[in-house]
A = this chain, B = another copy of it.
Amino acid sequence: MAEEKKISMAVIRRLPRYFRYLSDLMKLDIKRISSKELSERMQITASQIRQDLNCFGGFGQQGYGYNVEYLYDEISKILGTDRRFSCIIVGAGNMGNALANYENFSKRGFDIVGIFDVSPDKVGTVINNIKVLHMDMLPEFVKTHHVDIAMLTVPNSKVNEVAIQVTELGIKGIWNFSPTDLRLGDDVIVENVHLSDSLMVLGYRLKESMEGRKTS
Contact = CB atoms under 8 A, between A and B. Distances in A.
A140 interface: no
A19 interface: yes
A183 to B, nearest CB: 8
Interface string A175-187: 1000101010001
Contact of A172 (B85, B108, B198, B209): B209
Contacts of A17: 181, 194, 197
Q: How many monomers of this protein are in the complex?
A: 2
Contact of A43 (B9, B110, B181): B181
Contacts of A135: none
B201 A12 contact: yes
Contacts of A209: 172, 187, 189
In the complex, the 4 A-B pairs of residues with the closest C-beta atoms, listed nearest first = A94-B98, A16-B197, A191-B202, A95-B98
Interface of A: 9, 12-13, 15-17, 19-20, 42-43, 78-81, 83, 85, 93-95, 97-99, 101-102, 104-105, 108-110, 148-149, 172-173, 175, 179, 181, 183, 187, 189, 191-207, 209-210, 215-216
20 contacts: A9-B215, A9-B216, A20-B197, A42-B181, A83-B203, A93-B101, A94-B101, A97-B97, A97-B98, A104-B179, A108-B196, A108-B203, A149-B206, A172-B206, A172-B209, A173-B205, A173-B206, A189-B205, A192-B198, A193-B195
